[in-house]
């Protein structure tokens, strides 16, 4: 399948001598040298990425890293210096003003950090703005605006004005305005950056919930790595106008590409990033009708003191080493109740299950054992000393990017 959005060799250089600056960049000069010698400021250099339909792609960077410039190039608010931006295979960067306007009206909408609502209009009028631009009759666009306001829970406020609403509510209106035109691609430029922490958290959860039904292709800009890890299917870390690392949250935290990323990742609550499936061992189990000796032998060989026993393919329970030693009671009678979880569950949700002191069963849709979370693996992963969690799926990046990233020590 074609990616919804694909960006190739995207550069933005501010200043009169941008062509010259491009050449100098190609020769390997640094951003600072170029600024000193040509007066041109490098905003974004050689950005390459693809976003699949329905994916949330988060660009994370500090201020001045070029992330806002990057997102503004995607809908042409800032014209790129060179490179391609393809939405459904059509290059936005070279399509001409009229076509760009049509794309903005039909395909791509934006949510702004400071909401950017029109203070002289009501909430409903604001939400209907994109429809008004398209020339849709007033009654129809009001109906659509109310419907969209329903989605974000603000219908009762339809006739209020923006200054009467709190920040969180205003950003819901901003989101509703972007959704009202039915765009396929949503650009969100630090949408929750201006909100209080509690409200921000609430909005993040709401976006996750909404996205389950909306399935929009989202490019989300943030300076907050926690937010990036929570929302992103994939994350690009940006510094000085270039991508330092692109990958799934688990790749970023598990295998930071360089010291810069490591420094960010240091404070992260790893229990909220990694999932049961990331650290689960392949299911090594015994049959419930096996003999004592066989089970003990199996424990010895695998180095575990507790193993799962299966009964006709179904999980029967956990067997513990200390219970089996020195008894001849049937194995069936030593089975202990067990905790089960699913591969996509985050580690922090496993803590209560782990408190029992037994390995946790990871089950698939048919409730069959697909892996086992051992408690030492859990702690090792949380401590960041474990090298086991391999990328859940290989990072999907541009070819160049992948090569460069792979060259870095993991």
Partner 1 sequence: MLSPADLVTIPLDDWMNAFVRGWLVPNFRPFFRAAQVPVSNVLNTLNAFLLWVPMLVTTAAFTLAALRWAGVGTAIFTLLGFAFIDMIGYWPETMTTLAMIVTSVLFCALIGVPLGIFAARSDTAWKITRPVLDIMQTIPSFVYLVPIVMLFGVGMTPGIIATIIFAIPPIVRLTNLGIRGVRHDLIEAAQSFGSTRWQMLWDLQLPMAMRTILAGLNQTLMLALSMVVIAALIGAGGLGLVVNTGLGRLNVGEATSGGVGIVILAIVLDRITQGMGEKGLGVGPSLARLLGGVFRTRPLPDQKTPG
Q: Which stretch binds partner 1 (CB under 8 A): 10-18, 82-90, 127-135, 279-287?
A: 127-135
Q: How far is the CB of 59 from partner 1 (least distance, A)?
A: 17
Minimum CB distance to partner 1 smaller for 16 or for 102: 102
Minimum CB distance to partner 1 smaller for 46 or for 125: 125
Written in H, E and C, the secondary structure of the chain is: CCCCEEEEEEEEEECCCHHHHHHHHHCCCCHHHHHHHHCCEEEEEEEEEEECCCCEEEEEECCCCCHHHHHHHHCCCCCCCEEEEEECCEECCCCCHHHHHHHHHHCEEEECCCCCCCCCCCHHHHHCHHHHHCCCCHHHHHHHHHHHHHHCCCHHHCCCCHHHCCHHHHHHHHHHHHHHCCCCEEEEECCCCCCCHHHHHHHHHHHHHHHHHHCCEEEEEECCHHHHHHHCCEEEEEECCEEEEEECHHHHHHCCCCHHHHHHHCCCCHHHCCEHHHHCECCCEEECCCCHHHHHHHHHHHCCCEEEEEECCEEEEEEEHHHHCCCCCCHHHHCECCCEECCCCEHHHCHHHHCCCCCEEEECCCCCEEEEECHHHHHHHHHCCCCCCCCCCCCCCCHHHHHHHHHCCC
Kindly tell me which residue out of 89, 119, 326, 409 binds partner 1, with binding defined by CB under 8 A. Answer: 119
Q: Which stretch binds partner 1 (CB under 8 A): 80-88, 131-139, 302-310, 325-333?
A: 131-139
Q: Is 16 in the site for partner 1 (CB under 8 A)?
A: no
Kindly tell me which residue out of 29, 113, 151, 226 binds partner 1, with binding defined by CB under 8 A. Answer: 113
Q: Which of residues 156-185 bind partner 1 (CB under 8 A)?
A: 159, 161, 163, 181
Minimum CB distance to partner 1 smaller for 98 or for 407: 98
Q: Is 217 in the site for partner 1 (CB under 8 A)?
A: no
Q: Is 133 in the site for partner 1 (CB under 8 A)?
A: yes
Kindly tell me which residue out of 8, 17, 84, 132 binds partner 1, with binding defined by CB under 8 A. Answer: 132
Q: How far is the CB of 132 from partner 1 (least distance, A)?
A: 7
Q: Which positions touch partner 1 (CB under 8 A)?
A: 72, 75, 77, 101-105, 108-110, 112-114, 116-122, 124-125, 129-130, 132-134, 138-139, 142-143, 159, 161, 163, 181, 187
């Amino acid at each position: 399948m074609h990616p919804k959005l694909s960006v190739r060799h995207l550069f933005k250089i501010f200043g009169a001598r941008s062509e010259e600056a491009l050449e100098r960049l190609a020769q390997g000069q640094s951003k600072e040298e170029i600024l000193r010698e040509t007066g041109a400021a490098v905003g974004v250099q050689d950005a390459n990425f693809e976003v699949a339909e329905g994916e949330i792609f988060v660009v994370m960077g500090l201020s001045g890293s070029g992330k806002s410039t990057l997102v503004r190039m995607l809908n042409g608010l800032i014209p790129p210096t060179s490179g391609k931006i393809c939405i459904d295979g059509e290059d936005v960067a070279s399509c001409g003003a009229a076509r760009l306007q049509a794309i903005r009206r039909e395909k791509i909408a934006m949510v702004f950090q400071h909401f950017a609502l029109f203070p002289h209009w009501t909430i409903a009028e604001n939400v209907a703005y994109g429809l008004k631009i398209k020339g849709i009759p007033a009654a129809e666009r009001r109906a659509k605006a109310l419907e969209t306001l329903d989605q974000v829970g603000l219908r009762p406020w339809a006739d209020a004005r923006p200054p009467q609403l709190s920040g969180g509510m205003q950003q819901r209106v901003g989101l509703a305005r972007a959704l009202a035109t039915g765009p396929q691609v949503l650009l969100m430029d630090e949408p929750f950056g201006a909100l209080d922490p509690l409200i921000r958290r609430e909005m993040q959860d709401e976006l996750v919930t909404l996205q389950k039904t909306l399935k929009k292709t989202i490019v989300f800009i943030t300076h907050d790595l926690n937010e990036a890890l929570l929302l992103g299917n994939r994350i690009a870390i940006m510094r000085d106008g270039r991508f330092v690392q692109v990958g799934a949250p688990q790749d970023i935290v598990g295998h930071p590409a360089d010291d810069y990323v490591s420094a960010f990742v240091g404070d992260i609550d790893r229990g909220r990033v990694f999932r049961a499936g990331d650290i689960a061992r392949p299911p090594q189990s015994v049959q419930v009708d096996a003999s004592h000796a066989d089970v003990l032998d199996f424990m010895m060989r695998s180095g575990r003191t507790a193993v799962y026993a299966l009964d006709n393919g179904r999980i029967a329970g956990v067997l513990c080493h200390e219970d089996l030693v020195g008894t001849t009671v049937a194995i069936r009678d030593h089975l202990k109740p067990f905790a089960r979880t699913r591969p996509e569950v985050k580690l922090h949700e496993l803590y209560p299950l782990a408190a029992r002191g037994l390995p946790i069963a990871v089950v698939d849709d048919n409730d069959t054992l697909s892996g086992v979370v051992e408690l030492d693996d859990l702690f090792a992963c949380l401590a960041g000393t474990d090298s086991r969690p391999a990328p859940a799926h290989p990072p999907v990046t541009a070819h160049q990017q992948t090569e460069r990233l792979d060259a870095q020590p993991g």
